[in-house]
Amino acid sequence: MVSAKVKTAAMAAPPLLACAVLAYAAWYALRQVSLQISPIALAMLIGMLAAGLVTLSKDVSKEIGNLSKTILRWGIVLMGLQLDLKRIIVTAGPAVPVTLVATCGTIALFWWIGRRMGVSGALSVLVAIGTGICGAAAIVAASAPAKAKDEETGYALGVITLCGTVALFAEPALMPILGLSEQAFGFWAGASIHEVAQVVAAAFAGGPVAGEVGTVVKLTRVLWLAPCLIVLSLVLRRMEGGDGKEAKVPLVPWYVLGFLATAAIGSVVELPGVVRSTMAWVAGGFFVIALAGVGLGLKFGQILAFGIRPLLLAVLASLFIAIITLAWVMLVGWI
């Protein structure tokens, strides 16, 4: 006999998949008119629109949330296969320390600024880490140790996606104005734009060399996801005083260990290009499905209730990382 949980999960899957299919359809249609909008952002938006039109039972809504988190965490695990440390060191080795400084500086500074602006600690963390590392994946990965509410996660995803989309169009437009070479532009795009897909779209707009450099530099930022989450967990535990009135989130979540394991595999084993590209596609699909679930659990009113301050924080953080990485390119060089 089928358990109640399996039945509920079966009821939760169709809305997730329907929103994901609609997101990909909208993404494909927009690409035909040269609009580069992330399918991840579209999935969350479509999920939010569906949540306003369709009433789901409490059990189904809860199961959608659980499935979304599980799917997205597996997407984070599969992201590790995109990392090839040998390739990173050979192609953009000097980008490793630069991206570390830019990433850590952005996260620490804007976590602090967010609190001073009156933004909640959890939302400040999510905006800062989404800007500093890799957008949606970093935000959802950090939501557990930050103990963020679903509405805070949704808001952070929305504003970081918005800022990354603006950068996707703005940076290629600035390339000729700033007189950047393909290599220099690729470095800047990879070091400053949020989502991997956004970096690929923006960097290749500057030429094939820019696309290659931008992709590898972006992956060096993704490399810092696991260490930053571990440090974040340690800092938050210390801030809480260490006595914990409730069950604590594990210091190193299983999906972070999985990410490290797949990154190690991708660096040690010579995986065929088709395997890496397929796993990247699967991970992207997981993110789209998961973000559809996040959207299904949100209402526009819940997002708007946070006001404009978190949006301003995201804009300032995005400008900061863009300016400091551009300053490096202009004053020091792309390497």
User: And the tokens for 222?
Assistant: 């993704």
Question: Confidence class of residue 6 from pLDDT cuts 50, 70 and 90?
Answer: low
User: Is the pLDDT confidence value at 249 over 80?
Assistant: no
Taking residues 180-207, report their average pLDDT. Answer: 88
What's the pLDDT score for residue 244?
45
**Among 307, 295, 263, 291, residue whose Cα is nearest residue 139:** 291
Residue whose entry in the numeric block shows the structure tokens 């103990």: 147
The sign of the CA dihedral 239, 241, 242, 248 is negative
pLDDT digits (tens, 9 = 90+) for 271-322: 787 888 888 888 888 888 888 888 887 777 767 778 889 999 999 999 999 9
Phi-psi category of 181—alpha, beta or left, where left has phi over 0 and alpha has psi -120 to 50? beta
> How many residues belong to the chain?
335
What's the pLDDT score for residue 1?
41
Instruction: Indicate the domain borders of the chain.
Output: 4-331
What's the pLDDT score for residue 175?
92
Taking residues 54-73, report their average pLDDT. Answer: 79
User: Is the pLDDT confidence value at 129 over 90?
Assistant: yes
Distance of alpha carbon 79 from alpha carbon 188, whole angstroms: 22
- The three state secondary structure string of 112-160 is HHHHHCCCCHHHHHHHHHHHHHHCHHHHHHHHCCCCCCHHHHHHHHHHH
Distance of alpha carbon 83 from alpha carbon 89, whole angstroms: 11
User: Is the pLDDT confidence value at 2 over 80?
Assistant: no
**Among 113, 95, 92, residue whose Cα is nearest residue 103:** 95
What's the pLDDT score for residue 5?
58
Percent residues over pLDDT 90 in the chain: 15
User: Is the pLDDT confidence value at 91 over 60?
Assistant: yes
Distance of alpha carbon 64 from alpha carbon 42, whole angstroms: 18
- In terms of Cβ atoms closer than 10 Å to its own Cβ (0-12, 13-18, 19+), residue 115 is middle
The sign of the CA dihedral 24, 27, 31, 33 is positive
Q: Which of 17-31, 32-46, 106-120, 281-295 has the lowest mean pLDDT?
A: 32-46
3-state secondary structure of 332: coil
User: Is the pLDDT confidence value at 73 over 70?
Assistant: yes
Distance of alpha carbon 55 from alpha carbon 246, whole angstroms: 32
User: Is the pLDDT confidence value at 243 over 50?
Assistant: no
Compute the half-sphere exposure of residue 129: CA atoms within 13 Å on the CB side of its CA: 30
Q: Is the pTM of this model over 0.85?
A: no
